[in-house]
Amino acid sequence: MWIKVFQEIKFPKAETQDFYCINDYNQKISLLEKPVPYCGMPSVKLNTQNLTVVEGKTITLYCEATGSPSPTIAWVFNNIVSKHESDTNKNPASFTIKNVSSSDSGIQIYCIAENTVGEDQASVDLTVFFAPNITYLEIPYSDHHWCIPFSVRGNPQPVLTWLHDGAKLNESEYIWTKIHVTNRTEYHGCLQLDNPTHVNNGNYTLVAQNQYGKDEANVSAYFMEDPGEDYGTPTNDFEDTTNNSNQVTSTDVSNKDNEDSITVYVVVGIAALVCTGLVIMLIILKFGRHSKFGMKGPSSVISNDDDSASPLHHISNGSNTPSSSEGGPDAVIIGMTKIPVIENPQYFGITNSHLKPDTFVQHIKRHNIVLKRELGEGAFGKVFLAECYNLCPEQDKILVAVKTLKDASDNARKDFHREAELLTNLQHEHIVKFYGVCVEGDPLIMVFEYMKHGDLNKFLRAHGPDAVLMAEGNRLAELTQSQMLHIAQQIAAGMVYLASQHFVHRDLATRNCLVGENLLVKIGDFGMSRDVYSTDYYRVGGHTMLPIRWMPPESIMYRKFTTESDVWSLGVVLWEIFTYGKQPWYQLSNNEVIECITQGRVLQRPRTCPKEVYDLMLGCWQREPHMRLNIKEIYSLLQNLAKASPVYLDILG
């Protein structure tokens, strides 16, 4: 058949050249004149080009196939939620979906026919029409503009209407609805308010409607106090204390004398308030600057560099408070990295009250620190390998990593001391150990334990199948699955500890873990990863850098970071470990990654990853945060897998 087709294309009948076959009787048979028996390519035809159905209905798709020999027919599809059945014994074959779910919208269904000659296929997209469903509506937060975040599902696209205290909200250049992310039938966005005042306080209702129905949800919004509440009508007590001849009431406004009296009261009252405010301000300026840590609350402003989300972010009492954009003026420093502080009554920042009252930061003499070589440079200073003397009683000197602070401003120094007290309280076998500080002269120095093999990402790549040959011609030993599980178990143990301390990491990745001797792994970040691994971060608005490839949908869409978002990142870390340090979604651009994650797609199972481990990853990547595995559950599952037979775990290797 191949030769015949070739001949028909290359040599038209007008030409004399021909191909022949010789039969058992030594006769020539022209390929052009005699058909080849039992040799026909399959051909597939679907009964419809557009498969459209209303949610809850039943629909059947038919596929007719021709070819010789008769082809076999198969239906191929992904992730259909609804109950379905197929019949491929008949021609045409049928595929029936019962009680169609809205979650099936957009799924592609293939009919494939195959015989000994070849195969053919045809596909159709399933479109499901359904009534709107508001899946998310939260209290507003400040991010450039104030934003009331929402998520709505519906097909066709619902019309969105807002009510403010029951009355229709007329959108304008100051208040408008903005859709940030669209996923066919899902719409994620904000009601954006530009500099709202007390007038905008109240109850907001989102109404989503299309021809199949409507849904609505409410949220209360509070932006600022009503200034009129502080300067209302005088109370009876005040009126009783005034002279009767000069008494002014709200109803007695008919003559000019009373009007003058009102003017005097208002002017005098405002003047008194201004004077009082100036006195209080002078007192704060005088005494505040001599305080060791300043006022209780978020630390002082640092305005030099605007780096990405901090590696360690303290959420008091495990609050699920969303983060503001990282460009805001109020920030605290952890790990020499700037953290935004949202204006939210639930968020307490890192205050002195969160530190143990007996916190003692060890001070190390500068002459006891001998720098050896530079390890790298981050946004806030350089990191060096050094020898430190008289640090441990049992050793004369030990190798350490020292981090310097290049910004010597008063605010930076305050935050340096606050961070030192914070790190002193963070003590765990799988968190990089903090020894102390050196504050004699400049630069200010923090001293950490030295992890011999550097960051985990480089370590994984060096011990993977794609590692380059070493100078001596020997490749480093490739990590086994048992060793990978051992690494994962240690990181999970460190995250269990951070969660118990109500810390949210916000940037958990293999680049921010360090490897010591005997495959000891600890969580730690010297603030260099945003420079060394710049392609792992997505720059937003010129300043903010976000590790979107490690972030769940709610963190990408709403800047919401919680212990549950750390669980998502831990799942990505597991994927990194079992791919020997590959970048998640390495084949996609940052914008494509955002689209994939917000549409609900997840990373594929690594080739050498056991099914049990991939199931654990999927448990970390549930779209709804409350549906994800608990951090303690993850640690327990990894422990059990690590104890399992190596033969059983390595069977797919």
What is the token pair recorded at 163?
Answer: 């009510």
The phi, psi pair for 490, rounded to 5°, reads -70, -40
List the Cα angle 472/473/474 in 5-degree steps.
Answer: 95
Q: Which residues pair with 528 in a beta bridge?
A: none
The reply to whether 458 sits in an annotated binding site is: no
DSSP classification of residue 551: -
CB 343 within 8 A of CB 324: yes
The position carrying tokens 């007590």 is 237
478 is in an annotated binding site: no
Residue 24 assigned as binding residue: no
Helix (H) or strand (E) holding 298: none
SS (H, E, C) 54-100: ECCCCEEEEEEEEEECCCEEEEECCCCCCEEEEECCCCCEEEEEECC
382 is in an annotated binding site: yes
Q: Does 381 carry a binding-site annotation?
A: yes
Tell me the torsion sign for CA atoms 318, 323, 329, 332. positive
218 is in an annotated binding site: no
Residues ≥6 apart with Cβ < 8 Å to 37? 68
Q: Smallest Cα–Cα separation from 138: which of 359, 395, 321? A: 321
541 annotated among ligand-binding-site residues: no
Residues 6+ apart with CB under 8 A from 463: 476, 477, 478, 479, 580
Q: Does 202 appear as a known binding residue?
A: no
Q: Do 589 and 538 contact (CB within 8 A), yes or no?
A: no
> How many angstroms separate the Cα of 84 from the Cα of each of 45, 64, 97, 185?
21, 19, 4, 22
Residue 507: active-site member: yes
| Candidates 104, 307, 415, 507; catalytic one | 507
Q: Crossing angle of helices 481-500/631-643, nearest 10°? A: 150
Which residue pairs from 537-541 have beta carbons closer than 8 angstroms and sit at least 24 positions apart in sequence?
537/308, 538/590, 538/594, 540/325, 541/144, 541/325, 541/327
- The answer on whether 602 is annotated among ligand-binding residues is no
The 3-class SS string of 605-630 reads: CCCCCCHHHHHHHHHHCCCCHHHCCC
Is position 198 annotated in a ligand binding site? no
List all residues 6 or more positions away from 203 whose beta carbon is below 8 Å from its beta carbon: 164, 165, 166, 218, 219, 220, 221
Beta-strand runs (E) in 264-417: 313-314, 331-334, 337-340, 369-378, 381-392, 395-405
167 is in an annotated binding site: no
Spatial contact of 620 and 552, defined as CB atoms under 8 Å apart: no
Residue 454 labelled as part of a binding site: yes
Is 557 annotated as contributing to ligand binding?
no
442 annotated as belonging to a binding site for a ligand: no
Residue among 261, 268, 267 at smallest CA distance from 243 = 261
Q: Which positions are catalytic?
A: 507
Q: Which residues are annotated as a binding site for ATP?
A: 375-383, 403, 449-455, 511
Q: Which residues are annotated as a binding site for Mg(2+)?
A: 512, 525
Q: Which residues are annotated as a binding site?
A: 375-383, 403, 449-455, 511-512, 525
